[in-house]
Amino acid sequence: MVQADMIEASVDPGIMRVKEENRGEDGDATRYVPDVFFRYRNEYNLEVKKSAKPAFPVEYLLVNVTHGFPQNPSPLFKSSNFPIENRPGLEDQNIQAVLRTLSDLHAPEIQHSSQDHDTHRRFQVMKWLSDWHLIIFLGTSGLFSADDMKVLARVASAPSLDDPTVLDPLIATDGWQTLMTFAREHARKLLLF
């Protein structure tokens, strides 16, 4: 209504004023303001419909939203297991946790889909990678270049994680290979202790 130049503020902050129609010299309306009505309950508890000209209460411009949850949610990222950043003491992000999880998922053993037929393991890794906080952490770790991060983001936000070939572009990146080398070494150190 403001963009249509139909209402304006009034002296009373609880009241909005409906602008008058402007008529040009030829009698045509230069600003058309349709009839605006609002409903309220009067002192006899009857519902009354009243014209908003010249003014109406601002409460009629407010909208109550009970909740903002979709009925059929389809989140871009499928996982939220990685700790959230900026919560020291509550949830700490560290590379050791990433390497441990990658080792537990046997991610260093994953190869190109044409050579690797363990689709269950691929799906587990893809789902774990589909985490906003994990992607941000890996982006700040310095292991992935900007191009590798784009590939990681595409894999993590893939519309369907049911396709085992989704992981192939990521496996081919230098950043992923470096991360897998660290995960292998981390797993060896854990076995030695």
Out of 16, 41, 61, a domain closes at 61
User: Quick one: pLDDT at residue 142?
Assistant: 92
**Kind and range of the H or E element at 40?**
strand 37-41
- Cα dihedral 42, 43, 46, 49, rounded to 10, equals -10
User: Quick one: pLDDT at residue 28?
Assistant: 62
- Same-domain check for residues 134 and 184: yes
- Same-domain check for residues 34 and 115: no
Residue 78: inside a domain, yes or no?
Answer: no
**Residues in CB range of 171: below 8 A, 6 or more apart:** 110, 111, 112, 177
Containing domain of residue 49, as a range?
Answer: 7-61
User: Quick one: pLDDT at residue 154?
Assistant: 94
For 123, list phi and psi in degrees, rounded to 5: -65, -40
In DSSP terms, 17 is beta-bridged to 8, 55
Distances (CA, A) of 124 to 15, 68, 101, 118, 163: 58, 30, 11, 10, 12
What string of pLDDT tens digits covers the 193 residues of the chain?
777 777 888 888 888 888 877 766 665 656 676 777 878 888 999 998 888 788 878 877 777 777 777 788 888 888 888 988 888 888 888 999 999 999 999 999 998 888 878 888 999 999 999 999 999 999 999 999 999 999 999 999 998 878 888 999 999 999 999 999 999 998 888 766 5
Peptide bond into 54 cis (omega under 30): yes
- Same-domain check for residues 171 and 122: yes
User: Quick one: pLDDT at residue 192?
Assistant: 64
User: Quick one: pLDDT at residue 162?
Assistant: 82
Residue 158: inside a domain, yes or no?
Answer: yes
Residue 42: inside a domain, yes or no?
Answer: yes
In DSSP terms, 91 is beta-bridged to 87
**Residues in CB range of 84: below 8 A, 6 or more apart:** 91, 133
Residue 11: inside a domain, yes or no?
Answer: yes
Residue 150: inside a domain, yes or no?
Answer: yes
User: Quick one: pLDDT at residue 4?
Assistant: 77
- Same-domain check for residues 103 and 187: yes
- Specify the DSSP class assigned to residue 86: S
User: Quick one: pLDDT at residue 45?
Assistant: 92
User: Quick one: pLDDT at residue 103?
Assistant: 92
- Same-domain check for residues 125 and 184: yes
- Same-domain check for residues 188 and 144: yes
User: Quick one: pLDDT at residue 187?
Assistant: 84
If one counts the domains in the chain, the total is 2
**Residues in CB range of 16: below 8 A, 6 or more apart:** 7, 8, 9, 10, 55, 56, 57, 58, 61
Residue 121: inside a domain, yes or no?
Answer: yes
Helix (H, G, I), strand (E, B) or coil at 184: helix
